[in-house]
Amino acid sequence: MATKKFLLEEKDIPTAWYNVAADMKNKPLPPLNPGTKEPLSAEAFYPLFAKELVHQEMNQTDAWIEIPDEVRNLYRIWRPTPLVRAFGLEKALDTPAHIYFKNESVSPVGSHKLNSALAQAYYCKQQGITNITTETGAGQWGAAMAYAAKAFGLELAVYMVKISYEQKPYRRSIMQTFGAQVIASPSMSTKAGRKIITDNPTYMGSLGTAISEAIELAMQTENCRYVLGSVLNHVCLHQTVIGLEAEKQMEMAGEYPDIVIGCFGGGSNFSGISFPFLRHKLNGGREIRIIAAEPSCCPKLTRGVFQYDFGDEAGYTPYLPMFTLGHTFAPPHIHAGGLRYHGAGSIVSQLKKDNLIEAVDIEQLDAFKAAVLFAQVEGIIPAPESSHAIASAIAEAEQAKREGKQKTILFNLSGHGLIDMASYDAYFAGDLTNYQMTDEALNKSIAPLEKVI
């Protein structure tokens, strides 16, 4: 059998992140003041985010941004991550396609999220910030941020979506082990949380609500900033270490992907695996298909509108340009909690608008079916989120078989599912269903959006 695993050495960990905005012809639209509709200056964000992160967020000129040594040193705990040829999956599908996955599940917290968490904690520390707040859906980001905060000596408070707080108690324990304070959201500790609980006492929370609470606490706490695990440009930037390593590893394998796939919540792991490859398409005219795999119950890229919207439920954030389902959209409680977000990041949204990337929607049951097959033939139990990318890769491999064509498919395994076994239990018990978003529900949450664009 040919080589299965492509491993780099520590010296091959990238020394710079790739900033795709520098290479985009149509730049992402700027964030706006929701009142005046004027673009916001960097200074407007300083009370909320560490300055260096704001500068990265707005940088549309530098294609490469150096990774600080302190961050790169911590990356060495688990990076470079392996690129794996999925021979088992290829055989099970009897496909002529070559399937590769980048295994980000080997990080200490089990997902790609640590790539950005460490960078964000570093820049906060650099600036003399002592406290940070954030939100977490399934708990992956909170776990990563909790470790990163501890690594740089920061105090962290995490608002965790209530449904996950109850369904995924072990992610809470992980955050607590790393020393973070964890609060179920909606909570009574903020104005935003109290309002939502008053309006809807049984509400089990959403990322949008948890973001509102985390922002509110950050604004009220001395020497405190807010950090976010997805959606924003600087988060996508930090994740490009995934694709930059994968690029070298595909070279070792002697192949170049025809198709690159990432599951899609707010866009960070998708951006991470795909932007370094997208740069060959933007700069060299290279043919490559790039696919975002989102859940069919939260289909912002496939069925949402391109419009300015708030990033959170209460409307504390600026207006951000995005493919959105409306910031009041409350997605059903699917088990891929990390994909339950109403909008897409502004870079990805612009790329989608310009047809430089594609999107597909995946049903919950198809994702679990793909996950179980993958686990049985590759030996890794994937996170329910990552399973959407696997399902999409399988669909493309089956298509290659129908066409009788060899295609090279690369997907990102964003995390493992070992702390998500309750979701697998529910799947095996037959308790899971598919959720298609009705046009009626879609129109209801999109209609109130102001037509800024």
Ligand X SMILES: *Cc1c(COP(=O)(O)O)cnc(C)c1O
Q: Which is nearer to ligand X, 252 or 422 (CB)?
A: 422
> Could you tell me which stretch among 21-29, 76-84, 268-276, 397-405 binds ligand X (CB under 6 A)?
268-276
Provide the minimum distance between the beta carbon of 401 and ligand X in the complex, in angstroms, as a whole number.
27
Backbone angles phi, psi at 308, to 5 degrees: -75, 135
The CA distances from residue 69 to 57, 64, 130, in Å, are 20, 15, 21
Between 152 and 341, CB nearer to ligand X: 341
Tell me the β-bridge partners of 410.
Answer: 100, 260
Bridge partners (DSSP) listed for residue 64:
18
In the region spanning residues 306 to 365, those forming contacts with ligand X, defined by CB under 6 A, are: 338-339
Candidate list 296, 414, 423, 445; residue touching ligand X; CB under 6 A:
414
In DSSP terms, 313 is beta-bridged to none
By CB under 6 A, which span of 8-16, 186-194, 260-268, 433-441 interacts with ligand X? 260-268
Reduced to 3 states (helix: H, G, I; strand: E, B; else coil), residue 442 is helix
Which of 265, 318, 331, 343 lies at the binding interface for ligand X (CB under 6 A)? 265
Is the Cβ of residue 265 or residue 299 nearer to ligand X in the bound state?
A: 265
CA separation for the pair 207, 227 (Å, rounded): 13
Q: Using CA atoms in the order 353, 211, 260, 333, what is the torsion angle rounded to 10 degrees?
A: -100
Among 31, 186, 266, 299, binds ligand X (CB under 6 A): 266
Q: Which is nearer to ligand X, 95 or 296 (CB)?
A: 296
Position with the least CB separation from ligand X: 415
The Cα–Cα gap between 262 and 271 comes to: 8
Which is nearer to ligand X, 190 or 414 (by Cβ)? Answer: 414
Question: Nearer Cβ to ligand X, position 63 or 418?
Answer: 418
299: preceding bond cis by omega (within 30 degrees): no
Query: What is the rounded CA–CA span in Å between residue 309 and residue 326?
Result: 7
Q: Residue 264, interface with ligand X (CB under 6 A)? A: yes
Provide the angle, in degrees to the nearest 10, between the axes of the packed helices 346-353 and 268-284.
Answer: 50
Identify residues 19-48 at the interface with ligand X (CB under 6 A).
none
Minimum Å gap between C-beta 386 and ligand X is 5
Tokens of 361: 């929607």
Give Cα 227 distance to the centre of its chain. 14
- Nearest distance, CB of residue 414 and ligand X, angstroms: 3
DSSP type of residue 82 = P
DSSP 11-27: GGS-SEEE-GGGG-SSP
Q: How far is the CB of 188 from ligand X (least distance, A)?
A: 26
Name the residue nearer to ligand X (CB basis): 98 or 327. Answer: 327
* Span from 56-64, 72-80, 245-253, 263-271 in contact with ligand X (CB under 6 A): 263-271
Toward ligand X, which CB reaches closer, 224 or 325? Answer: 325
Q: In terms of residues, how long is the chain?
A: 453
Instruction: Please report, as residue ranges, which positions from 119 to 158 form the binding site for ligand X (by CB under 6 A).
Output: 140-141
Give the nearest distance from C-beta 235 to ligand X in angstroms: 7
Q: Which is nearer to ligand X, 385 or 396 (CB)?
A: 385
| Minimum CB–partner distance for residue 113 and ligand X (Å) | 5
Size, binding site for ligand X by CB under 6 A: 20
The residue range among 14-22, 145-153, 259-267, 274-282 that interacts with ligand X, by the rule CB under 6 A, is 259-267
Among 56, 133, 190, 268, contact with ligand X (rule: CB under 6 A)? 268
Among 245, 385, 396, 420, interactor with ligand X by CB under 6 A: 385
Peptide bond into 80 cis (omega under 30): yes
Tell me the C-alpha distance between 257 and 281, whole Å. 12
Query: Of the two residues 140 and 206, which places its CB atom closer to ligand X in the complex?
Result: 140
Of 96 and 332, nearer to ligand X (C-beta) is: 332
Least CB distance to ligand X at residue 329 (A): 16
Contact present, 21 and 27 (Cβ < 8 Å): yes
| 180 within 8 A of 146, measured Cβ to Cβ | yes
From the list 95-103, 245-253, 261-269, 282-290, the region that binds ligand X by CB under 6 A is 261-269
Torsion angle of alpha carbons 118, 119, 121, 122, nearest 10°? 110
- Tell me which H or E stretch contains 305: strand 305-310
From 232, 242, 259, 263, residue interacting with ligand X (rule: CB under 6 A) = 263
The bridge status of strand 305-310 relative to strand 319-324 is antiparallel
- Work out how close the CB of 106 gets to ligand X at its nearest, in angstroms, rounded to a whole number: 12
* Footprint on this chain of ligand X (rule: CB under 6 A): 111, 113, 140-141, 230, 263-270, 338-339, 383, 385-386, 414-415
